[in-house]
Structure 1
Amino acid sequence: MRDSLVGRYNIDALWLDATEPENDDLLDRKVCNGKYPGEMFRNAYPLIVNKAVYEGFRRDIDNKRAMLFTRSAFPGIQRYGVATWSGDVGNDWETLRRQIVAGLGISVCGLPWWTYDAGGFFRPSNQYTDKNYHERFLRWLQTSVYLPLMRVHGYMSNTEFWNYGEDVMRISRNALSLRYSLLPYIYSCAADVTFRGGTIMRPLVMDFATDTTALSLKYQYMFGRSLLVTPVLEPEINQMCVYLPETEGGWYDFRDNSYASNNGWYETGVSIENIPAFVRAGSIIPLSTELTTTSSLSGADFEIRIFNDADGEFCLYEDNGNNYDYESGLFSEIKMEWNNKKRVFTIFDKSGKFGNRREGRNIKVILISKNGISEREILYDGYKTVVKF
């Protein structure tokens, strides 16, 4: 495999399907040179399989970051560059609801990289013309914008957006564009996972442990520490009631930057164009502009959205994105801070060994408050920059 596939074709990731193993393949078999019954290793089998592939990848492929995608997982598997997904699921509303619960459960088990087949693996035979399915597909896809990995996959399906008509294609492309714009935020959250044991898909108990109402909710969750995701999980609605946990300064609607509420139950409008998501006051969200590939993420121009009414901080992380040089310190961090009382935003000196410190980057800084939006444009050259509003 090393010589005929991975090395020859410069493969970036490996999809290890059926690592359960499938069809009771360990039943009544001996493993480890006939020493142990196979059933003893059934649950841990995916861990051992992925460990072997990861270690072989790192040994034989020169300084290329391993990415393994596996249908089954076991605690500890995150050490081996592994992401998992929920398997071959249906496409109905109840199945979508169950995905959220499953993903949050996986996250609190210490496995941060999880996703699902957006649109369902098993789909209706008339999927390209079924308007009811189109609505479900879009809600699956829009929710996946706020998952650790975003992907579309389906059994015996041509899943390209254009197969579903102009409306689905337009809305799907908007969802994909939103995902790309969030990449600086997502990649920094990924660094938090690696270096500080963080979690990207976060059940509300992680951030609002004393809020009993928040703890009772199964389908709302945090994406990183700033974004509250409220998936649309039923058809043909134009309003939904969401819960905004108490937090200093309240919450802003991420869709249009309007101020939503301080805390409690909140009635919000719903359209087919997107799902509601909310931002905690004090959040600093870096967003890319016109990004269409992950390879151009590091060093690209971007905008920073500051959500007023509370102090905040954020650490933007960057590295090569495709190798293990970061293990030798070849990465950079740019710490940012918002002082709400003084209305001062500070970007500190760039730290680390990655990138050209003196290479200027155009940054649009946007302050979002209850009374409107203020903008500043700066050229950041890697040294401390202070922006006053």
Structure 2
Amino acid sequence: MPFPGCFRLFACPRLALTLFTAVSLSVGSLAAAELTVPGGRLEVVDNEVLIHRHGRVIVHLTDVKFDYHSPLAWAVAQTTPDRIEIKLTYPASVDYAHRGPTTPGLDATLTISTHGDGFRLHATPEWADQTTLEFAHTGDHFFGLSSPLQPDNQHSPDLTGSTVRVEVTNHGEDIVENYASAFSSFYMSSAGYGAFFDTFGVGRYQFALNGRNQIHHETGTLDWYVLLGDDGPTIHRAYFDLIGAPKHVPLWALGPIGWRDQNDGGAAEILDDIKRFADLRLPLTGWFVDRPYSDGAHAWSHMNFSAAFAEPEKWIREIREQHGLEFMTWTATAFFGDTPLNRHLPGGFTYADLSDPETVAQFQQKLTDLQHSIGVKGHKMDRADEKFPEWEAWADETVPRGAKRNTYTYLFIKTHDEALRRTWGDDQFTFARAAIHRSQPYLSAIWGGDPRSSWAGLQGNAANAIRASFMGFPVWGTDVGGYIGEGLIDEELYLRWMQFGVMSGLLEIKLDGSGGDGRDRMPWRYDEAFQAEYRDLLELRMDLLPYLYSLANDAAESGTMMQPLAYRHLDDPRTHAIWDQFYLGAGLMVAPMVTPGSVRDVYLPAGRWYRYNFDRGIESSLVGGHAVVTQVERNEIPLFVRANSLLITGNVYAGNARTWDADSPPRLKIHAFPGEVGESTSFTYIDSADGDAAKVIHLEHDETGISLTAPALDAAVSLKIFRRNGVSVTNIPAGEPIHYRIDD
């Protein structure tokens, strides 16, 4: 059925065409059929499809190929106000795989329909195996599809002039950030639309090559959406309406999380690390153990806790009850030669066949019995992207070879979420380096693969984060300090990586080298001055939790957490190549230091901006529309707040801080930055203390003054309103609605 405000392209088997009366195409440039939605119009004219927005053509579809063949003829078969059906006739040779060259000409029905504020094109010819769409390039730029830095390790997220493959494969050492493996057949255009080809079939996208674009997928079903919108949040709102809202993220999972790649000392080493963080008053909210910690092949295949981690129910309970942390584990559906489940796929990794219901049930039951039942609340999910066998038979024989990698990644993510949900409901967390579209309702976060412990590794991961956001993965994180290399790294690189991590969606801090190589990078390996800077960063992260929690759990409405500049300013060409700046929410811009030194350029979009420090407040006022040269101290994160913005911070979750600061009551801070007269803004605060109630904080500047209103919050509030002539501060008790006004 049609979806309001969007368009759909649909094709049916040729027998269905007898239901329709053919309508001849109009001559010349006169539209044969037309659909409209708010802000957009689609017309079929001269055997082409054109989508218009704001008076310009943004999509110019010139060919719909099945099995690499163009149609011999188009004919409009039926039109309604929200639907167009087109009969496409293909040559007999198109069906080389099924019927042979003597088959008469083959037909398909292309159905175009409205879908929200966009369109859907859909076709299902029973004889086709490949679908290709060809377009004239209309001058726009393109973002999304791949978190690996396709093509050529370029940092820029702008894919114009590129060819990109959409298939979950790890790129190992040929992509600089190493093993980042999130892909999606969703891309965003600077012309003001998002496009989603709804298939797990392998894709190949070519943009602006010889003046043309091409989309190709290994599927005979065409199911392509064009979702119109002025910016990334609007476009992704329509996208999440289609694929499902992103998964809920628990508050504890957004705080600092520590881990080692190798725990040779077993559970005792984990407890000792956690205790030393508390002794130094370094805040944490979670910890996880990486492989190896189990018995069996690759120290994993039994999925249990080995002798070095004996009696896990006791020490996991101690981690939670005595130290205030939640605990997670590394998992995989690769069994590295062992075959303990009902069905495994051949090959050295002997992956579990997740298309087999009995195998899925066995895997989930083992997770429940051996891990979730004793307190494990989440998983770092690994290895879905390596050495995957494509040709072997699955229990579900309907999945074609060209869709197996992407389908498997989706099943991998969904299988883990289902198992955790049975024990913990929403109070659980999953993160993976391999991901695919439609997994967002089941995956809490992605992490940027295994970066090298170098400035190049940090830079590659920063670029990876930007791409993940364009694809619609709301929460992203980095292995702080890098993965590939020895543990101990120099202080400047470590602090800059920490600063980047603190302002990312997921903060997980890697505390040793690859496989435990070299001296670890525990903060106590460095001097007291470094430890103080480290502590300040962790405390800032804890203070940001109310803001981050709200962003993560309002992503279906407000968009991804780390928003690229082009995501919010599609029509500003100066933003298209920027990979080392991002918005954290709508008003806070982060410009992390990803190169050595104390100076960097920061591009500020048009408007009024403030250089901001959460401790010191506003440091300077700036006018946007150009780049500014920024001096940055070693212990400073370059932060800029846009006028007409709201931020909310506070101590809403204790984590391990309850071991040294058990009596501090929760308190919130609202930082308000009014805009010009006539401007207003709102922030949706997700109140974790009030059953995740969504509470809208509203800021308005009218001709007589500035007002801020909000429902009652479950913590006392310190309200700061930053004006051009000073700062207004007031305190509001917990449970009292906020109605505050300043005459201006």
- TM bracket, shorter-chain basis: 0.7 to 0.9
Contact 1:259–1:370 under 8 Å retained in 2: no
Aligned counterpart, 1:251: 610
Deviation at 1:83, TM superposition (A): 1.6
Aligned counterpart, 1:142: 499
Contact 1:30–1:37 under 8 Å retained in 2: no
Deviation at 1:290, TM superposition (A): 8.2
Deviation at 1:120, TM superposition (A): 0.4
Deviation at 1:362, TM superposition (A): 2.0
**Which of 684, 698, 707 is matched with 1:315 structurally?**
684
Aligned counterpart, 1:45: 408
Aligned counterpart, 1:228: 589
Aligned counterpart, 2:647: 285
**Which of 720, 724, 733 is matched with 1:379 structurally?**
733
Aligned counterpart, 1:368: 722
**Which of 283, 292, 303 is matched with 2:669 structurally?**
303
Q: Residues 39 and 211 from structure 1, CA distance in 2 versus in 1: closer, same or farther, beyond 3 angstroms? A: closer
Q: Residues 335 and 39 from structure 1, CA distance in 2 versus in 1: closer, same or farther, beyond 3 angstroms? A: closer
Contact 1:250–1:280 under 8 Å retained in 2: yes
Aligned counterpart, 1:267: 629
Deviation at 1:381, TM superposition (A): 2.3
1:209-253 per-position Cα deviation (integer Å, ceiling 9, x unaligned): 222222232211111111111111211x23322111112x33332
Aligned counterpart, 2:710: 348
What is the rounded CA distance, in whole Å, between the counterparts of 1:294 and 1:320 in structure 2?
A: 19
Higher share of residues assigned helix: 1
Q: Residues 332 and 49 from structure 1, CA distance in 2 versus in 1: closer, same or farther, beyond 3 angstroms? A: same
Contact 2:502–2:541 under 8 Å retained in 1: yes
The one-letter code matched in structure 2 to 1:317 is I
**Which of 430, 433, 451 is matched with 1:71 structurally?**
433
Aligned counterpart, 1:326: none
What is the rounded CA distance, in whole Å, between the counterparts of 1:145 and 1:191 in structure 2?
A: 18
Q: Residues 225 and 238 from structure 1, CA distance in 2 versus in 1: closer, same or farther, beyond 3 angstroms? A: same
Q: Which sections of structure 2, spanning at least 5 residues, go unmatched?
A: 1-366, 659-664
Equivalent residue of 2:508, what SS?
coil
What is the rounded CA distance, in whole Å, between the counterparts of 2:529 and 2:485 in structure 1?
A: 19
**Which of 381, 386, 392 is matched with 1:16 structurally?**
381
Q: Which sections of structure 1, spanning at least 5 residues, go unmatched?
A: 322-329, 351-356
The one-letter code matched in structure 2 to 1:209 is L
Equivalent residue of 1:117, what SS?
strand
Aligned counterpart, 1:241: 601
What is the rounded CA distance, in whole Å, between the counterparts of 2:457 and 2:521 in structure 1?
A: 19
Aligned counterpart, 1:26: 389
Deviation at 1:331, TM superposition (A): 3.0
What is the rounded CA distance, in whole Å, between the counterparts of 1:266 and 1:371 in structure 2?
A: 24
What is the rounded CA distance, in whole Å, between the counterparts of 2:456 and 2:588 in structure 1?
A: 24
Question: Normalized against structure 1, the TM-score is what?
Answer: 0.83
Equivalent residue of 1:251, what SS?
strand
**Which of 461, 471, 486 is matched with 1:109 structurally?**
471
1:104-152 per-position Cα deviation (integer Å, ceiling 9, x unaligned): 1111111112211011012346x2xx5xx22111111101111111111
Deviation at 1:382, TM superposition (A): 4.0
Contact 1:91–1:121 under 8 Å retained in 2: yes
Aligned counterpart, 1:84: 446
Greater shift in the superposed pair: 287-296 or 335-344: 287-296
Deviation at 1:294, TM superposition (A): 9.7
Contact 1:26–1:38 under 8 Å retained in 2: no
Q: Report % sequence identity.
A: 23
Deviation at 1:14, TM superposition (A): 1.5
Contact 1:259–1:369 under 8 Å retained in 2: no
What is the rounded CA distance, in whole Å, between the counterparts of 1:161 and 1:294 in structure 2?
A: 16
Deviation at 1:374, TM superposition (A): 2.5
Structure 2 matches for 1:157-196, cutoff 5 A? Answer: 158-194=520-556, 196=557
**Which of 559, 562, 585 is matched with 1:201 structurally?**
562
What is the rounded CA distance, in whole Å, between the counterparts of 1:209 and 1:33 in structure 2?
A: 42
Deviation at 1:201, TM superposition (A): 0.9
What is the rounded CA distance, in whole Å, between the counterparts of 1:80 and 1:346 in structure 2?
A: 36
Aligned counterpart, 1:6: 372
What is the rounded CA distance, in whole Å, between the counterparts of 2:577 and 2:425 in structure 1?
A: 45
Equivalent residue of 1:188, what SS?
helix
Please list every run of at least 4 consecutive aligned residues from structure 1 whose deviation after the TM superposition is greater than 4 angstroms.
33-40
Equivalent residue of 2:694, what SS?
strand
Deviation at 1:371, TM superposition (A): 3.6
Q: Residues 270 and 49 from structure 1, CA distance in 2 versus in 1: closer, same or farther, beyond 3 angstroms? A: same
What is the rounded CA distance, in whole Å, between the counterparts of 1:252 and 1:331 in structure 2?
A: 31
Q: How many residues are matched?
A: 359
Aligned counterpart, 1:121: 483
Q: Residues 134 and 252 from structure 1, CA distance in 2 versus in 1: closer, same or farther, beyond 3 angstroms? A: closer
Deviation at 1:73, TM superposition (A): 0.8
Equivalent residue of 1:179, what SS?
helix
Contact 2:384–2:412 under 8 Å retained in 1: yes
What is the rounded CA distance, in whole Å, between the counterparts of 2:610 and 2:740 in structure 1?
A: 25
Q: Residues 294 and 283 from structure 1, CA distance in 2 versus in 1: closer, same or farther, beyond 3 angstroms? A: farther
Deviation at 1:266, TM superposition (A): 1.5
Aligned counterpart, 1:327: none
What is the rounded CA distance, in whole Å, between the counterparts of 1:335 and 1:25 in structure 2?
A: 46
What is the rounded CA distance, in whole Å, between the counterparts of 2:609 and 2:379 in structure 1?
A: 42
What is the rounded CA distance, in whole Å, between the counterparts of 1:68 and 1:221 in structure 2?
A: 24
The one-letter code matched in structure 2 to 1:161 is P
